[in-house]
Amino acid sequence: MSDTPKKPKKNINKAKTKTPMREQPAGERIFNFEEVPLGYNEEEATLEALRCIQCKNKPCIAGCPVGIDIPAFLKLVGEKDYEGALRKIKEKNFLPAICGRVCPQEDQCEMVCTLNKPDKGRDPGGVGRVERFLGDYAMEHDLTITPECAAPTGKKVAIIGSGPAGLTAASDLAQKGHDVTVYEALHKPGGVLFYGIPQFRLPKEILLREVDGLKDMGVKFVMNYPVGKAESLESVRERHDATFIGTGAGLPWFLGIPGENLNGVYSANEFLTRVNLMGGYKFPDGADTPVKNIKRIAVVGAGNTAMDSARTAKRLQPEIVYLVYRRSRLEMPARVEEIHHAEQEGIDFQLLHSPIEIVDNGKGAVGAIRCQEMELGEPDDSGRRRPVPVEGKIKEWAVDTVVLSIGQSPNPLLTADCPDLARDERRGTITINDWMQTSYEDTFAAGDIVTGGATVILAMGQGRKAADAMHRYLTSGDPAAPAGEDSDVCDGLS
């Protein structure tokens, strides 16, 4: 019998499914704008972190657009070293409380998780849920973890747009020692994080707390300053050594059908901005830009923005909220969680219907929405089955409001006076090279202004790539130069 002591067994939670997250009951939350998922407590977060098996290949890191060392921070949470775990995340992502809430982890890090075996009833690790816990833990314990910034380089950088790409680029460039100023067209920072995502998905106080971390690093913010209107892009470039454009995709698409100019028709951008940014849901108690009194509303589309619009509308207490989509539930591009929450909240899904007319009520306002019934044919370029009209099948719903959420392209305000800035003429997006550099040598771009509508974390990943290239440009004159010893974004965390 051997006297060799046995290795202690790893402390692993062998549960097949994710640790449940508490949330507001649907019957209560439709009467308020408070957050729906309530997050993990310490015990729940630790239990979920211990489901990570610390596999050798670590595919989740490659699945994260900003390259967070996911197994490392989960291991620290499993050891109840929450501050250490937060420091590990902030080496790559300074917005954990935000990304833990709005990033589609199920299509990224969790999709490639070694545990993810749906055919065997096994869930991937709850990466996003634990990340959110850490961001909230920092705020609840007033824990400030600020990256240490390199010595000042004397270089001035302009960041145009304070959305996810712009905030990420600002953070990384400030850590490199550059003098960073963010120019934002609206009166609050955050871009789509502030005006587009509802309070019940991303509380504004959380966003503003995360932005305060940038100010602690010395980043300056100039609000109510639409570049292209308040000042030309050329003028901004003249005052800075390098410029980053991250103005997103805020120009809504329309269907081109009769009745789109009627009173009561909103783009999703306008609808969500009125409610989220301008407090339209509080009218008449202090809101200057109310949303009209809605009784029956149709939201057209099935992406995350459409779900946000429908769920926001539900909280304005109409009689009914329709969600009209030309394909089936299987083809919906929204996150599974958002679709599930919309169904719980009583959104009336009208699938396989495509609007052909918004009907006038005789007074210049919306009276109904008329739709063509569809069936699914062969897949199109998107990989989803193409909707095909069913001859003679028309349906009409009486509504007084229609919200169109079918996509958006970049707003041309900034680029209108820059005819030699290379753009995709069809999509309106800015053309870049492999180093996120535009046709202007000193100007870089990332996020939705480059890709069209995409996700928060993809925009952040691009912002990080652009910041790295800008640093090389500022220090060597060549964004493609080999990275030097100072290329790491984070030299340390205090």
pTM summary value: 0.87
State the average pLDDT over residues 71-84.
96
End-to-end CA distance of the chain: 51
How much is the pLDDT for 396? 96
Q: Which helix (H) or strand (E) holds 267?
A: strand 265-267
Which pLDDT score, from 0 to 100, does residue 1 have? Answer: 47
Q: Are strands 242-245 and 156-160 parallel, antiparallel or unpaired?
A: parallel
| Distance of alpha carbon 430 from alpha carbon 187, whole angstroms | 25
Which residues lie closer than 8 Å to 296 by C-beta, 6 or more apart?
318, 319, 320, 322, 397, 398, 399, 400, 401
Evaluate if residue 494 carries a pLDDT over 70: no
Q: Which of 205-219, 225-239, 310-324 has the lowest mean pLDDT?
A: 205-219
Check if CATH label 3.50.50.60 holds for domain 254-406. yes
Decide which of 115 and 5 is more confident.
Answer: 115
Spell out the residues 6+ positions from residue 9 whose beta carbon is closer than 8 angstroms to its own.
none
Percent of the chain whose predicted confidence (pLDDT) is above 70: 93
Residue pLDDT, tens place only, 10-50: 667 789 999 999 999 999 999 998 999 999 999 999 999 99
- Position 113 scores a pLDDT of 95
Q: What is the pLDDT of residue 491?
A: 41
What is the fold of 22-140?
Answer: Fumarate Reductase Iron-sulfur Protein; Chain B, domain 2 (1.10.1060)
* Residue 85 confidence (pLDDT) above 90: yes
* Residue 379 neighbours by CB under 8 Å, 6+ apart: 385, 386
- What is the predicted pLDDT for the residue at 388? 93
360: left (phi over 0), alpha (psi -120 to 50) or beta: beta
Encode pLDDT of 124-162 as tens digits. 999 999 999 999 999 899 887 877 888 999 999 999 999
Q: For residues 83 and 89, what is the distance between their CA atoms, to the nearest angstrom?
A: 10
pLDDT of amino acid 125: 94
Mean of the pLDDT values across residues 381-402?
A: 92
| Ranges of each domain in the chain | 22-140, 156-250+410-487, 254-406
Buried b (16+ CB within 10 A) or exposed e, 452-488: bbbbbbbbbbbbbbbbbbbbbbbbeeebeeeeeeeee
**b (16+ CB within 10 A) / e for 94-117:** bbbbbbbbbbbbbebbbebbbbbe
How far apart are alpha carbons 76 and 370 in whole angstroms? 55
CA neighbours within 13 Å on the CB side: how many for 274? 19
Q: Give the CATH superfamily of 156-250+410-487.
A: FAD/NAD(P)-binding domain (3.50.50.60)
Question: Matching CATH topology for 156-250+410-487 and 254-406?
Answer: yes
